[in-house]
Structure formats: C-alpha cells, structure tokens
Amino acid sequence: MRELLFYLIFAFSVITYFIGFTVLQRGSGRNRIDRLFFMSSLFSAGWSLFIGAVLIQPDTDRASLMRAIGMLHIFGQLICVTDLLVYWSDVRGRKKRWSVSFVRVGALLYPFVIQRKNVIFELTAYGMSFRFKAGIWSIVYAVFCVMAAIDMLLLIGYMMRRSIRKREKIIASMLLLCVFIVGFGCVLDTTMQMAGVAAFPISAIGQFVAQMVLYRIYQFYNKSRVTLENMSEFVYYSVDEPVFLFDEAEKLSIVNNGATVFLGMSAKECCTLRLNDIFVLDRDVFRFQGNKNRVEARCWQNNNICSISIDKIYDDYHDIIGYIVIVHDVTERVRMLERLEQEKQRADKANEAKGAFLANMSHEIRTPINAVMGMNEMILRECEDEMIVEYAENIQEASRTLLVLINDILDFSKIESGMLEVIEEAYSLKALLKALMTECSMRAEDKGLELRFEVPPDTPDTLLGDEVRVRQILLNILTNAIKYTMKGSVTMKVAYRQIKEQEIEITFQVTDTGIGIKEENIGRLFGKFDRIDEEQVHAIEGSGLGLSIVDRLVKLMHGTVTVESVFGKGSTFTVCLHQQMSGTETVGCLLDEKKHEGRGKNLPLFVAPQAKILAVDDNKVNLTVIRGLLRKTKVQVTCVENGKECLECAARERYDMILLDHMMPGMDGIETLEALKQMPDNQSKDAAVIALTANAMAGVREMYLAKGFDDYLAKPIEGTVLERLLMRYIPKEYIEKMENRNRTAVE
C-alpha cells in the first residue's frame, strides 16, 4: 500500500516539475507572475516528492531527513503563493508589507519544526507517518498556519472587493478554491492525528490539486491579459489597412477585413487568389534577400497605386512558413505628388520665362540707354555752350531716373527668385557716406532742401559687409526722403555701438520734414508696387519698389528697418545692421574734407598715353561712346565689331585690356574668349579681358568670372566707372594721376 501511495505522490511531483519547466522553456520568465509561478511549481513538486519519500523510509532518521527537506519546500511554497496573492490583489502600503513580511518571518520557525525531538515517527499501514509532539512548538506552528491562511483569505477578500473586471473576480474565486483545498488537507491531517488515527498524506495530495488549480489560474490570467500573442489577432482583423497572409506555397490563406473592403470581395473569394491576381507584379516577388521586400504596384481590381510590404514568417527552426503582405493605398499621395511636380515644372518654366524676359529687356533697354548716357556725357565733357550743357544735364538726370527704375525692377526680381546674394568685402564707410552726400546733394539743392550728415568722428571706418547693398539701402531711403520733402531738410544720422570685440551694430537714421505717412498706411509701406496716398504723390516719379527692396535687403543682411511718421510733419526711417570691423581707422569729419573732394569738370582721373585697349562691340554707337569717354585719358583705343576681328587684332598687336561684348552675332563674347585662350600666336594673352554686357540679372557677374573673364562691366557705361576699371588693370607705370595742382594748371 505504501509503495502505491508513494508512486502516486511521486507522479504528482513529476507532473508539477514538468509544468514548471515547460513554463520556463517557453520563455515565460519575463515578468513577475511567470517567475513566481515557476518557483511555486518547483516548491510544490519538492513538497510532494520529499513528503512522499517519508512514507517509504524504513527508519526514523532517514524519514526525519526527508521530512526536513520537504518542510523547506512547504515554507517556500507558502512564500511564493503569498507573493502571487499580493501581486494579483494589487494590495499596497502597510497591508502589502505586513502580508509579505509575515510569511517570511514565519519561515524562521523552520529550524524548530524540523527538530527530531519535536516530531513522533511511526509505521502505519500507509507507510512511515509523523506528527508533532504536544508542546510549545506545535502550538506556534499551528497558530502560524492559521494566521497564514487568514492572511491569504484577507488578500483574496481585498481583491474581490476592489475588482471591477469580471476576469479579476474569476481569478479571486479560483484562488479562494486553492486556499480552501490546501487548508482542508492540512486540517484533516491534523484532526486525524489528534484522533489517534494514522496520518494519511492528505495535505501533500491537496497541495498538488491546489497547484493544478493555480496553474489553471495562471493560464487564465495569461489568456485574459493584454499580450502580444492575444492582441495580434485582434489587431490583424481590426486594422483598416489590407493585410494578406500567404503560406509557404505562396497561396493566400487569411485576409483581414481591410483586405476584403479593399478588393470588394468576401474572405472566401479573396482566398482563391494569388498575389499576382491582385497586383501587377513580377512573378518572383516573393524571392528576395533579407526579411522584408517593399515594392510599388497597381491593383488589377480598382487600378489604385499601392505600396506593398512583404515580410517573411519563420517557424522555430527558422524555416519560412509563410509571408505577410501589408498594403498601403498611396493613390492620392502619388497623384498629389504628380500634381505638385506639374505645378513646380510650370512655376520653373514661368520663372525661366520671366528671367529670360527680364534679361532680354535689360539688354534691349540698357543698350540704347548706354548710347544716350554715353553721348550725353561726352557733350557735358566737351561742350562750352551753357544752354546746351543745361540741356545735357537735364538729359543726364532723366536718364539716371530711368536707369534707377530699371535697376529697381531687376533687383526686385533677383530678390524674389532668391538669386541675390550678400557678398561681404572690406569697404570704407567714410567713402560710402561721402559718395551718398555727393550724389544726393544736387537733388536736395535743386529742391531748395538742406541735406545734413551727422556722423560721430570715432565711428569705425573700415567695415566688412556688402558695400553695394548698404549703399543701395541708404540711397533708396535718402532719395525717397528728398522726393517726398517739399521744404525743410533731410538729415542722415549715424550711430554705432560695439557688440563684440570686432562687431558693431551701426544705425542709419534718415529724418525728413516731408509730407509724412498716415498711421494706417505704415503697414503697407514696404509692399511691392504699392504707393501710399497715390492721389497726393502721383506727380512724384517712382515705381513703388524702392522701400520694398530696402526691406528685403535689410532682412537678407539680418538687420531691421523701422518707420516713425507724423502725417504732414515728416518721417524717420531707421536701419540697423551688424557689421564686422576690419581695421582701427575712424571716419573723422566728413564736412572738413567735402570742399576738397572731386576733380575739375571735364578732367579724367588719369592719363595713360602708352596704354592700349581693344574694344569689341557689334554696336557702333557703343564703340563711339567708349572712345569718347576715354579720349581725355589719352589711352589708345582700337575698336572692332565682332569676335573674328578681335582675334585678328590680338594676333597682330599686344593690348593691356580687352573690353569684350557678350551678345554679338556669329562668335559671341564667351566663344571669342575661349578662342583667345587657345590662340598660339596671341600677343595679348596677358591682357585683362572684361565682359561688356547690357545683362544685369542676378548671377551674371559670377557666370562671367566662371567663364574666365577677369571682370564685368554693365551697360550703360559711366565714364568714371570705366576710368577706375582701367586704373585697376592697365600697368601702373603707364598711369599718370591728375593731381589737384595739375588740374588747376590745366584749367
């Protein structure tokens, strides 16, 4: 009988061990519940094995050893089950600490309950049996067991009271059944011993049954909780995107709701298809390296464009058992991108057409203006008749106004197209302000206005920035102030403050006593082609672009421009720019040197009788202008009308500089330059070649320099600009500068 009972209990132990290691092998030890159940299975199996082993022991010493090992597992099982109850009941604070601490402190009874003197062993019909001797330790152990049972019941009661989910109530009920089974077995064992009946290992059998119920709870908990395993099916069927599952033979096995809606077919009808029956794809779409393949295809059923993601599915041996295909309908996105691309192409073509138109207009307008201004400048230089000179001055003023309008339109086009760049170079603030003073003083004098420049003498002179754009900003504001001021004055105030060791914030403030601006119109001030109070200023020339260009240039240079105005009293424009200092020189006093500026009328900057230049232009008037502007410099000018004649001249004679027009029939300027560089007999290979063009669009200067030109000169040509260009490139020993005393002697 005892062997049969032992084998039964041994079988219980093996089953419990198997369950525990199965949980471990499946990799379920990733969370607290899995770990606790695994440990509980090990302790439960040990309880059954060693308490059962007591039955077959022939002597009391070995029986006592088996019982001691078995009691160790009983205490371990009690701790694990208590921890499970604490976790599931979600008890916290003092209740949690008391419950956990109680069973762990109770484990201190172990050395006393296993003592041989506290236990009575006896042989029965069922094998070796044991019971506690009456005494203090039997009472303590009994009280501990009762308290442990009450503790578990309280935890289960707490869980049932706080549970709001049905699954939690089911778990609590099953836990209650576990505690009842173990408690019933222990009570029955105890009462039988107290009645003098030989003890039957009911508690060992009861704890096995309770462990199986606990395993059922564990399974129910895992199934009912949110896990990747039980969520995957829900996600698969609820996701809106079409999802197809193919087996290893590439046959469609499962489809989700999104796939049936996408194809407009039932799930049964869908499963009769292959992937190539659904999409226009290569036959070997499932033959790919790696784990994922992404392709784009068109659907046969609805002609939609789809992005298809194909993932391989592997078994535990890394063999492919299927493919999961996820479909993203990108029809609208592709069509939107196509529309955007078409719009971009149209915009690019429009920009190209606008750029070509502006470049052509620049060339076509600047060419005759070059002739008008050039010839007019020769009249001013050579004519002695005061009336004719007055007429010529009027022509010069009108031509400059027309040129300003053209430049404004071109500059605005450059800014809008993003082609205008800020080029930082060292420049003299003093020279810039003196040039502005000279240029604006005549306009102010013609209107009877007082033009004042207030510049602190210690203002840094040599700055690093874009001199051309700074001059353009200030000139626009000054000319605007003069245009809209009928009487009074225009004042330019300059101030600065040092930000860093080599960086300053420089402020230019232009104040006028003009017509002013209404408060509601200040917001429109920097709009393009917008002129405020048109009925009041219609007689004043202007395109409405000047201040818009100022605003955009200032922003391009990371500065600020502000306006304060009182209608009928005047306005103040303030421009703040950050500039780097490039030296220690200061501006000094502008007014002290103003009377010494300039050169006498009709006198060139230099004379260079030995210098030779070659001018190439298909327009005879332009050649006449160049020759006339350089007449008093005594430079030897040779004029030709095409690239072929240029090459012939360069082969015969050495020139110090070549002015080469771009737009010429036959061989244009760029082709002529390339031919010059390849000529083996070029006598002027060391001469500077200057691009001469009426195209003043953004990027033109950089384009000419990239093609190999040494510099760039835009039409209309000003005499002074041309003279300075020559001074830069012809040999220094040829130049004889016109000093003031020499000019006086000539006059």
Domain residue ranges of the chain, discontinuous segments joined by +: 2-225, 233-329, 422-594, 606-746
| Structure confidence at residue 224 (pLDDT) | 60
| Structure confidence at residue 598 (pLDDT) | 42
Average of pLDDT values for 27-50? 77
3-state secondary structure of 721: helix
Size of the chain, expressed as the number of residues it contains: 747
Higher pLDDT, 83 or 190: 83
Query: Rounded to a whole number, what is the largest CA-CA distance in the chain?
Result: 153
Q: What is the pLDDT of residues 195-251, one digit of tens each?
A: 555 556 777 788 888 888 888 888 777 766 544 445 556 666 667 788 888 887 788
Whether the pLDDT of residue 284 is over 50: the answer is yes
Parallel/antiparallel/unpaired status of strands 320-329 and 243-247: antiparallel
| Structure confidence at residue 744 (pLDDT) | 43
Q: Does domain 233-329 have CATH number 3.30.450.20?
A: yes
Q: What is the DSSP letter of 241?
A: S
Q: What is the pLDDT of residues 171-204, one digit of tens each?
A: 888 888 888 888 777 777 666 655 555 556 777 7
Q: What is the pLDDT of residues 5-20, one digit of tens each?
A: 777 888 888 888 888 7
What does CATH list as the number for 606-746? 3.40.50.2300
| Structure confidence at residue 362 (pLDDT) | 65
| Structure confidence at residue 572 (pLDDT) | 92
Higher pLDDT, 45 or 540: 45
| Structure confidence at residue 49 (pLDDT) | 83
Report whether 44 contacts 240 (CB < 8 A).
no
Mean per-residue pLDDT of the chain: 80
- Read out DSSP for 475-537? HHHHHHHHHT--SSEEEEEEEEEEEETTEEEEEEEEEE-SS---GGGGGGTT-TT--TTHHHH
The rounded distance, in Å, linking the Cα atoms of 265 and 257 is 10
pTM (predicted TM-score)? 0.44
Among the listed residues 547, 413, 562, the one whose alpha carbon sits nearest the alpha carbon of residue 473: 547
Q: What is the pLDDT of residues 577-626, one digit of tens each?
A: 999 888 788 888 775 444 444 444 567 888 999 999 999 998 888 888 88
Whether the pLDDT of residue 495 is over 60: the answer is yes
> CA angle 73-79-85, nearest 5°?
135
Neighbours of 61 (CB within 10 A): 10
Report whether 425 contacts 431 (CB < 8 A).
no
Average of pLDDT values for 542-558? 75
| Structure confidence at residue 719 (pLDDT) | 82
Higher pLDDT, 413 or 681: 681
| Structure confidence at residue 417 (pLDDT) | 59
Among the listed residues 354, 357, 362, the one whose alpha carbon sits nearest the alpha carbon of residue 662: 362
Superfamily of domain 2-225: Rhodopsin 7-helix transmembrane proteins (1.20.1070.10)
| Structure confidence at residue 389 (pLDDT) | 82
Whether the pLDDT of residue 740 is over 70: the answer is no
Q: Which of 187-196, 266-275, 418-427, 702-711 has the highest mean pLDDT?
A: 702-711
Q: Which of 191-205, 306-320, 417-431 has the highest mean pLDDT?
A: 306-320
| Structure confidence at residue 195 (pLDDT) | 59
* Residue with tokens 């439960």, as numbered in its chain: 44
pLDDT band at 642 (very low <50, low <70, confident <90, very high): very high
The rounded distance, in Å, linking the Cα atoms of 480 and 440 is 11
| Structure confidence at residue 467 (pLDDT) | 83
The rounded distance, in Å, linking the Cα atoms of 69 and 54 is 10
Tokens of 68: 């001691």
| Structure confidence at residue 646 (pLDDT) | 93
The rounded distance, in Å, linking the Cα atoms of 490 and 484 is 10
Average of pLDDT values for 412-417? 63
The rounded distance, in Å, linking the Cα atoms of 390 and 386 is 6
Whether the pLDDT of residue 538 is over 60: the answer is no
Radius of gyration from C-alpha coordinates of the chain: 51
Whether the pLDDT of residue 269 is over 80: the answer is yes
Instruction: For residue 145, report the phi and psi dihedrals to the nearest 5 degrees.
Output: -65, -40
Q: What is the DSSP letter of 299?
A: B
Report whether 455 contacts 494 (CB < 8 A).
yes
* Residue with tokens 């601490």, as numbered in its chain: 101
Domains 2-225 and 422-594 share a fold: no
Whether the pLDDT of residue 673 is over 70: the answer is yes
| Structure confidence at residue 741 (pLDDT) | 37
Q: What is the pLDDT of residues 347-397, one digit of tens each?
A: 888 877 776 676 666 667 777 877 788 788 788 777 878 888 888 877 877
Parallel/antiparallel/unpaired status of strands 657-661 and 612-616: parallel
Whether the pLDDT of residue 540 is over 70: the answer is no
Given CA atoms 655, 659, 662, 667 in this order, what sign does their dihedral have?
negative
Q: What's the Cα-to-Cα distance from 397 to each of 405, 535, 561, rounded to whole Å?
A: 13, 25, 29
- The fold of 422-594 is Heat Shock Protein 90 (3.30.565)
128 DSSP β-pair partners = 123
pLDDT over 70 percentage in the chain: 85
| Structure confidence at residue 333 (pLDDT) | 85
Report whether 52 contacts 77 (CB < 8 A).
no
